[in-house]
Amino acid sequence: MEKKTTSNEKEPLTSKKDASDCSKGEDCKENGLVVRNPKSALRLVEDGNKAHPSQGDKGEAAQISNGYSGVQSSAPCNGEVEDAQGTAPAATTTTTTTTSTTCGAEAQQQLMELEDRETWSKKIDFLLSVIGYAVDLGNVWRFPYICYQNGGGAFLIPYTIMALFGGIPLFYMELALGQYHRNGCISIWRKICPIFKGIGFAICIIDLYVASYYNTIMAWAFYYLISSFTAELPWTSCTNPWNTGNCTNYFSKDNVSWSLHSISPAEEFYTRQVLQVHRSNGLDDLGGISWQLTLCLLLIFTIVYFSIWKGVKTSGKVVWVTATFPYIILFILLVRGATLPGAWRGVLYYLKPDWQKLLATEVWVDAAAQIFFSLGPGFGVLLAYSSYNKFHNNCYQDALVTSTVNCLTSFVSGFVIFTVLGYMAEMRNEDVSEVAKDTGPSLLFITYAEAIANMPASTFFAIIFFLMLLTLGLDSTFAGLEGVITGVLDEFPHVWGKRRELFVLGLTILCFLGSLATLTFGGAYVVKLFEEYATGPAVLTVVFLEAVAVSWFYGITQFCNDVKEMLGSAPGWYWRVCWVAISPLFLLFVTCSFLSSPPELRLFDYDYPYWTTVVGYCIGTSSIIFIPIYMIYRLVITPGTLKERILKSITPETATEIPFGDIRMNAV
């Protein structure tokens, strides 16, 4: 293929001058391309026009193929236009045209990135990866607890409302952004609103924080899994070296009564053998590192590395197991739980509506927070995964399918948990509310583990249950790290573009070293602190600014035109209203509620001192501080007056490459 270079100069493709010049020549606008000299208009083949469903709908002269409005203010780079044509039979002639306002080397690099970018082997690989990311450990322990705490069946009303007007629109927005611009969480901002690029760096820091504590929970599950390969599960008796005098095995055949000071063998196994929290005095005295948990975590990170080191084509195959296996196990556990004595008591407690709860503000806050953290926008994962999609993939349908599956999984998980809690209440002769006091991981590692241990075929059910927890956690870990990997590799392709395996190795080692504090005897206290403060308010702030940047700075009309470019039809008024107003208000509501009443942390018998709240806010701020820092940096390095600097900083600076049938072109 021969490359020819023309020297015809042109103005920036979207400049205001182009719009006025169009009135002077018939050929000024050709197939959505705006040029200064009619003779240099790039004529696209007719087949290419037919391949693009929405190209013919462009009406404004200052608007080009990806719908960018005519306010681009970045300077042209000598107006270089490259046109490469190949000879072929008339029936199969293809033309590759590249127009760009970026300088030669940058334009060539962008085109190479587009052509070389990896894509999913199959559509189902993408769907399973997104479902595996969204459906995590929180669906199993957090939703059931939040549901019964906030009115049972009545909680489903605010949960559904928050999903429809907050969670799903944000989920859809991120999938569309990633698929259209084909970039990770950092470099994508050059094509949207450059001054907000700090959001990408903040996302990467948040993902590293999550990787530093989330995988430790999987190490606990892995420890339980190894311990389950025995004829008698170790948390069923009080005769072990770690047990105390308060250990009470009320499931034994002896007539044992449950008292106020009684501790179940499952709780002592979790606290004294797995975590060993009795060897720590709190956050100011974490104690030594547990070598058993360290080995478990090392093995988990090894699995993670070899699952993601080659890219989405590798991880897309792994999720066929890790994303589908939990559903098989959930179904088995649901059937088993429904046949236990007292199961109906748990289901009744889970779903019995308390309509008075709907009048409480905190119920709506919990519903908003639950749907947001369940779907998971703001972690860069949806941007990364969708950036490997084909350009015309129906991301709208994907958003509806995956978010619906996620919400239904949370709801069904509640039955899996509460049928067992009803069984526990029946055996203890207590109310379900007394049995269900454990929250968070304790609900899985104490209450549910104890119930499993006293079922027939307990070893089998213990093995499949903790395998399910591992697969749920692995999917989310794959996704979180892929968000960082894609973001960094897209931002620094000249450094890491051909060294993905080496970068992923360094990243996993960094996450492992960052997890060492959570592997100490007081590591559970660190996990709780990070879970509540390091990610929650930071992610809410990030997604709020992301929604504002896309809807108000990039422009809701522009964004909808981008979606139309991919899908053939623009989003309706419902989505526009959600993106412009309702979703940002939804995020602002949750963030302000959290900041106005920070959670009072307590774990086991340890009350977190006041200074831990300050430390928690400092950890959360350490990620989002990159946003204002980059804004200041951007304004300082941009030449011109303050007004000119601001205008340049909020204007897309880099061309967006979009496939055009057999044609690849840059759009500004």
Other beta carbons within 10 angstroms of residue 339's beta carbon come to 10
The helix (H) or strand (E) run that includes residue 21 is helix 16-21
Fill in the amino acid letter for 21: D
In sequence order, the 6+-apart residues with CB closer than 8 A to the CB of 75 are: 12
Flag whether 208 is marked binding: no
Q: Is the dihedral of CA 527, 529, 530, 535 positive or negative?
A: positive
Torsion of CA 102, 107, 111, 117, to 10 degrees: -90
- Do residues 560 and 551 make contact, with C-beta atoms less than 8 angstroms apart? no
CA 514 to chain centre: 20
The tokens describing 622, both together, are 């350490």
Flag whether 475 is marked binding: yes
Pairing of strands 606-607, 656-660: unpaired
- The secondary structure of 126-149, three-state, reads HHHHHHHHHCCHHHHHHHHHHHHH
Flag whether 134 is marked binding: yes
Under DSSP, the state recorded for 603 is E
Flag whether 393 is marked binding: no
Other beta carbons within 10 angstroms of residue 367's beta carbon come to 27
Flag whether 374 is marked binding: yes
- Do residues 384 and 178 make contact, with C-beta atoms less than 8 angstroms apart? yes
- Do residues 171 and 363 make contact, with C-beta atoms less than 8 angstroms apart? no
Alpha-carbon gap, residue 270 to 282, rounded angstroms: 17
CA 527 to chain centre: 19
Alpha-carbon gap, residue 655 to 544, rounded angstroms: 25
Q: Is the dihedral of CA 120, 122, 128, 131 positive or negative?
A: positive
The tokens describing 569, both together, are 């039809």
In sequence order, the 6+-apart residues with CB closer than 8 A to the CB of 376 are: 133, 134, 171, 382
Helices (H) then strands (E): counts for the chain: 30, 9
Flag whether 187 is marked binding: no
Flag whether 135 is marked binding: yes
Q: Count CA atoms within 13 Å of residue 631 on its CB side.
A: 13
φ, ψ of residue 229 to 5 degrees: the values are -85, 60
Task: Describe the crossing of helices 626-637 and 642-649 by its angle, rounded to 10 degrees.
Answer: 120
φ, ψ of residue 552 to 5 degrees: the values are -105, -30
Q: Which bin fits 15, alpha (ψ -120 to 50), beta or left (φ > 0)?
A: beta
Per the annotation, binding residues for Na(+) are 132, 134-135, 139, 374, 406, 472, 475-476
As annotated, the binding site includes 132, 134-135, 139, 374, 406, 472, 475-476
